[in-house]
Chains A and B, each alone.
Chain A
Amino acid sequence: MTDRRLLSIKAYEDIDKEIAKYPVERKSSAVMAALAIAQNEAGWVSEQVVEDVAAYLDMRPIAVWEVATFYGMYNLEKTGRSKLAICTNLPCALQGANKTVDQLKAKLGIDFNQTSSDGAVTLKEAECMGACGDAPVVIINDREMRGKIGVEVVDSLVEELKLR
């Protein structure tokens, strides 16, 4: 795969590790992991990413599109430097998630699905993250979960993300 340029060599190595988990004739089982690896590096799932992953896994691009559009954590558009997803489901709401959301929106000057004017943060509303004991819960760029995000820590969280 020496002529591939879209992702780094490390990314393709990581995808190869995922492919190795499944029977040889079932490479498409690695599509979710491959898209996540690509998103982590490229920031979002572009048309080029879909076509590259499809070619790499011997899949039709439409089959990869089906996966990319079905699962909520794939970014089908560019995001700010940090994608901040906050859960507002009932257990988080009972711990004040809606107040956290109001404060985040005010501090960032944006609504859900918008990006702050400095390009630092895209705010997303999310469903249950399976961490309700630490409610309210947020996830930064898919991989970093933070718990107990009450209104009192919103300012410092936003300052931290703006420096990234």
Chain B
Amino acid sequence: MITSNPPFPVNSYGPDAVIMKDIDGLNWNLSEYEKRGGYQALRKILVEGMSPEDVIAEVKKSALRGRGGAGFSTGLKWSFMPKGEGQKYVVCNSDEGEPGTFKDRDLLRYNPHIVIEGMAIAAYAIRASVGYNYIHGEIWEVYERFEEALEEARAAGFLGNQIMGSQFAFDLYAHHGFGAYICGEETALLESIEGKKGQPRFKPPFPASYGLYGCPTTINNTETFAAVPSLILEGADAYLSLGKPNNGGTKIFSVSGDVVRPGNYEVRLGTPFADLLEMAGGMRDGNDLKAVIPGGSSMPVLPAEVMMATDMDYDSIAKAGSMLGSGAVIVMDETRCMVRCLLRLSYFYHEESCGQCTPCREGTGWLYRLVKRIQNGTGEDGDIDKLLSLSDNIGGRTICALGDAAALPVKSFIEHFRPEFEYLIKYKKSQVESI
């Protein structure tokens, strides 16, 4: 059982929370979810009658974009599914292992039914009869809780045959990972459900035409599904107006690093970064902000002055030179050595490369060894250029995005903090204190 943390005040996720509204850490079960209006969106669709096309049109109109990293239009993704008969699947990607990201864990342990309801609505929209939720193996207790929630939903008739007296049938199961970051990549995840090594597939074909067991499949992130019930219930316009055009709704940001209160905060898309930082209690020990990775470790790092002028939505962060990604905000203060921070990330990508593509398998190791020798004072003139050249030769040359994810931090850390790399090569010691 999950024993840590709760209960906590119901407004802990922020005053504008929608997905995590009224969550206190204890009220996760079905009866509590129904008291919060749970399963009313599914009822609206099945009993009042919305066609699958109506649902997809509503999701498109809301400007809900994928919460896992790529930020692709959810409604558009659903519309790619073939309309004909035959087995189709809906899959939830809860394999949350992108360093800095810890929102899906809270969603699944404190509000699991909102994910179940969102998946059921998606299944109805894309005409799938079976779904799987792939849960990160490291959060075993959360996996067990999700199984409990599934049992509740089955017993209450929200899963199974003739849901709410309709002809809609949907079965949903949980599948756990066991320690492989790459399975957060959607086609690696499908391979993993099929009982194989999690090695990404070539795309195309995309999962909508060739997915799980070769059948048409839609895969979305946990938070994306969790956004769907309120979107359907309140309407696309209301959802869209929570955020800004092309960036509908609220987003859970996982704030970690040198802040007073690391944690998850659900805010309207378009909220200034400065406000988010304040919700997290501001900078720890009164130190100055130095750098922020705004969207998980795979996204480019940005310097303090850029972040302080940026709003937290897909388009604003892209304009600032990074990506919103998974919404993992890693905050680093003035005491941090940027070379050492990059070293740990480079080790991660080297460790987690699946080994399938040569540029990534060999290149991530090479990146790590180069950053390591700079960091430990044995770097040579030309190493920085070598790192940049190597990064350019990995990015875009692999089956999946892990190669790019390894290259982007290297390029951005050098772009914004090059003097720290140069200082280390010249003086054999760090310009600043280390982590």
8 Å CB contacts to A: which residues of B330-351?
330-332, 336, 341, 344-345, 348, 351
A139 CA to B141 CA in the complex, in Å? 11
A132 to B354, CA, bound (A): 23
Name the one of A26, A36, A126, A132 contacting B178, with C-beta atoms under 8 angstroms.
Answer: A36
Whether A33 contacts B262 by the Cβ 8 Å rule is no
Interface of A, secondary structure class, is: mixed
Q: Which residue of A lies closest to B263 (CB)?
A: A133
- Beta-carbon contacts of B136-154 to A below 8 Å, as 1s and 0s? 1111110000000000000
Contact with B along A29-57 (1 / 0, CB 8 A): 11111011000000000000000000001
Q: How far is the CA of A109 from the CA of B402 in the complex (A)?
A: 36
From B101, B173, B194, contact of A130 by CB (8 A): B101
- B192 A94 Cβ-Cβ under 8 A: no
Q: How far is the CA of A48 from the CA of B426 in the complex (A)?
A: 55
- Assess whether B181 is interfacial by the CB under 8 Å rule: yes
> Which residues of the partner chain B approach A90 to less than 8 Å between Cβ atoms?
99-100, 257, 297, 330, 341, 344-345, 348
Question: A70–B198 contact, CB under 8 A?
Answer: yes
- B4 in the interface (beta carbon within 8 A): yes
Residue pair B176, A36 in contact (C-beta under 8 Å)? yes
Q: A28-B195, A36-B137, A145-B141 are in contact. Are A132 and B100 (CB under 8 A)?
A: yes
Q: Which residues 123-138 of A have a CB within 8 angstroms of B?
A: 126-135
Q: Shortest Cβ distance from B109 into chain A, in angstroms?
A: 10
B197 engages A143 (CB within 8 Å): no
Among A71-79, A100-108, A111-119, which stretch is in contact with chain B? Answer: A71-79
Choose one: A35, A94, A128; the contact of B332 (CB below 8 Å): A94
CB atoms of A89 and B348 under 8 A apart: yes
Question: Contacts of B322 on A, CB cut-off 8 Å?
Answer: none
Interface: B372 (CB within 8 A): no
With most chain B CB atoms within 10 A of its CB, the pick from A32, A71, A94 is A94
How close is A150's CB to chain B, nearest CB, in angstroms?
13
Give CA–CA (A129, B139) in the complex, Å. Answer: 7
B257 touches A129 (CB 8 A): no
User: B96 interface residue, CB < 8 Å from A?
Assistant: yes
B330, A94: Cβ atoms under 8 Å?
yes
Is there contact, CB below 8 Å, between B435 and A91? no
Residue total for A at the interface (Cβ-Cβ under 8 A): 47
Among B177-201, those with CB < 8 Å from A are 177-181, 192-198
In the complex, which residues of chain A have a beta carbon less than 8 angstroms from the beta carbon of B194?
26, 28-29
A38 to B65, CA, bound (A): 40
Decide if B178 touches A32 in the complex (CB within 8 Å).
yes
Please tell me if the beta carbons of A127 and B139 are within 8 angstroms of each other in the complex: no
Chain B 390-410: CB-based contact to A (< 8 A → 1; otherwise 0): 000000000000000000000
| Chain A residues within 8 Å of B256, by CB | 91, 94-95, 132-133, 135
Are A93 and B262 within 8 A (Cβ)? no
| A135 CA to B196 CA, complexed, in Å | 31
Contact among B140, B177, B435 for A71, CB-based, below 8 A: B177
A19 to chain B, nearest CB (A): 11
Complex interface: chain B residues within 8 A of A147 (CB) = 4
- Decide: B139 and A130 in contact? CB cutoff 8 A: yes
Q: Is A122 an interface residue (CB 8 A)?
A: no
The CA-CA distance from A126 to B100 in the complex, in Å, is 14
Residue on A with the closest CB to B345? A90
The 3 closest A-B pairs by CB, nearest first: A72-B179, A73-B179, A28-B195
Write 10 A-B pairs (CB below 8 A) sorted by A numbering.
A21-B132, A71-B179, A72-B180, A74-B178, A89-B99, A89-B345, A89-B348, A90-B257, A90-B345, A131-B138
Apart from A72-B178, A127-B179, A132-B254: 8 A-B pairs, beta carbons within 8 A: A23-B213, A26-B195, A67-B195, A128-B101, A128-B181, A131-B139, A132-B101, A133-B263
